[in-house]
Amino acid sequence: AQKITQTQPGMFVQEKEAVTLDCTYDTSDQSYGLFWYKQPSSGEMIFLIYQGSYDEQNATEGRYSLNFQKARKSANLVISASQLGDSAMYFCAMRPTFGTSYGKLTFGQGTILTVHP
């Protein structure tokens, strides 16, 4: 079974500063994928970034980067130069590559990020 833990229920950051959202995971699978999603108050799920368990480089997508530490089973999201529009709920998720849970996403509890002007 897979488990995702996000220990920060809420985070605050000043506009234009960087912020790190924590995510740790637990799995016995050797091959898996890690995702971060943003959910604004409108409820839609917006894909931000993906990291494969065998990817050697940390993933980056614009202002988003994923700090992947495989040995520590952590996949923290770093948002640089925060903007007011970044205020939202952020979910970390993972899915196995093989097995009976193939393709199924498991989500963490989420972190509410508030960006102050």
Partner 1 sequence: SAVISQKPSRDICQRGTSLTIQCQVDSQVTMMFWYRQQPGQSLTLIATANQGSEATYESGFVIDKFPISRPNLTFSTLTVSNMSPEDSSIYLCSEVRRLNYGYTFGSGTRLTVV
For residue 39, list its beta bridge partners: 89
- By CB under 8 A, is residue 43 in contact with partner 1? yes
- By CB under 8 A, is residue 35 in contact with partner 1? yes
First to last CA, the chain: 41
Helix and strand element counts for the chain (H, E): 0, 12
Q: Which is nearer to partner 1, 48 or 75 (CB)?
A: 48
DSSP letter (8 states) at residue 56? S
Q: Which of 91, 94, 113, 115 binds partner 1 (CB under 8 A)?
A: 91
Binding stretches for partner 1 (CB under 8 A)? 33, 35, 37, 42-45, 47-48, 50, 52, 91, 95, 97, 103-110
